[in-house]
Structure 1
Amino acid sequence: MTTIMEAAKGILSTYVDDEPKSPIHVGEVMNLWTYHTVLTEINRFVEMSLNTTRDDELVVALKNSYNDCRGHIQEVESLFRDEGIPLPPTSEKKPHSNPEDVPLGVKMTDDEIANGISVKQVSTLTLCATGLAQSIRSDIGEMWLRFLTDRVKFGAYFMPLLRKRGWIKVPPSYYPPGAPQH
């Protein structure tokens, strides 16, 4: 049996790479444009979060998220420059500040920060899967597969921290009508 990565590589290799690259299509552009925007806004959230939290483990997780997102942003920007596609407008970087100087009415809790990253993680996973499914060009598909793999790895790293700190939000159990209650 093949691994997921081998299967995905096999699917992507069905594209003929010897042919000239087709122009990037509007769906590929839109997915990448949206992904770039979401990642940039995630990094603005991370910058604000780093200005708020004093939790050492959360700081490490935030820095890991930031670096992962920054790498993806740079790759999309490089592709856009090569293809002549304008970059989306995004928020400006946030300056560093001391968490002690942030007023309590503005300061996010560690729970809010962790769940904000978690929600953003879910949206990026969805964007990566959609981008991969809609890619025509093999180079774009391979890029989406790498992005998806990186996002899954971050999720596998981040989820234990959410559980450990009690920050994970778990919906109530569902029991169909007539099923025995546990």
Structure 2
Amino acid sequence: MTGILGGNPKDEPLHYGEIFGIWSASTMAKGAVSCYRAYLNHAGDHDLKKILGQLIDQAELEISECDTLLNDNGIAAAPAMPHRPEVKLEDIPVGARFADQEIAAKIAAETAAGLVACSQVMGQAIREDVGALFGKYHATKAALGMKILHMNKKKGWLIPPPLQIKRPEAVEA
């Protein structure tokens, strides 16, 4: 195949949906790094801190890759957020602290939303490299989501939606 959409995907132009998806992913990741670093200051649980570290590492990778892709295509990325200073948990007043359960619920919800956002970019992408990049992010977020779910169950932090305890009996016709 030849033409504007043939050959090396990196030589193809990005369409406006791809641009917005990549730019949004970078911007959201920058906000996540800032927020998750603050959560690290509030978190007391070792397992939660470990997952927050993994989420920060993933967000920083996404920022680097998305900003490079934008820059390579002549598009300015959103500015980075200022770096948060480290604070000791004991220095945060009790009424101002996020509880570990609150942090865990928030990162679970944000990871689930990230899966949907990745799927949207994958679905609208016509450049194979963009679709593959967000497929990679999707797979990583799915794995992190499972770690968060397992942790929330293990720690007793999961607040499930209403459960169907008693199932209706099947009616035979």
- What pairs up with 1:60-99 in 2 under 5 angstroms? 60-89=50-79, 91-99=81-89
**Distance change (3 Å), C-alpha of 1:58 and 1:121:** same
SS of equivalent residue, structure 1 residue 105 = helix
Match for residue 107 of structure 1 among 84, 91, 97 = 97
2:30 aligned residue: 40
Amino acid at match of 1:115: A
Q: Deviations over 1:47-77 (max 9, x none)?
A: 1111111211111111011111111111001
Q: Is the 8 A contact 2:9 2:127 kept in 1?
A: no
SS of equivalent residue, structure 2 residue 11 = coil
Quote the offset at 1:90 in angstroms. 5.1
| TM-score, with length taken from structure 1 | 0.83
Work out the CA distance in 1 between the residues paired with 2:47 and 2:10: 47
**Distance change (3 Å), C-alpha of 1:31 and 1:96:** same
Segment of structure 1 superposing worse, 19-28 or 141-150 = 19-28
Greater RCO, 1 or 2 (C-alpha within 8 Å, sep 6+): 1
Amino acid at match of 2:168: A
> Is residue 138 of structure 2 the alignment partner of residue 148 of structure 1?
yes
2:13 aligned residue: 23
Q: Percent identity?
A: 25
Q: Deviations over 1:120-152 (max 9, x none)?
A: 101110110000000011111111111111111
Work out the CA distance in 2 between the residues paired with 1:82 and 1:98: 40
Q: Deviations over 1:69-89 (max 9, x none)?
A: 111111001111111111124
Aligned positions, number:
165
Segment of structure 1 superposing worse, 35-44 or 100-109 = 35-44
Amino acid at match of 1:179: P
**Distance change (3 Å), C-alpha of 1:78 and 1:127:** same
1:127 aligned residue: 117
Amino acid at match of 1:108: F
Segment of structure 1 superposing worse, 162-171 or 81-90 = 81-90
1:11 aligned residue: none
Match for residue 169 of structure 1 among 149, 156, 159 = 159
Q: Is the 8 A contact 1:17 1:138 kept in 2?
A: no
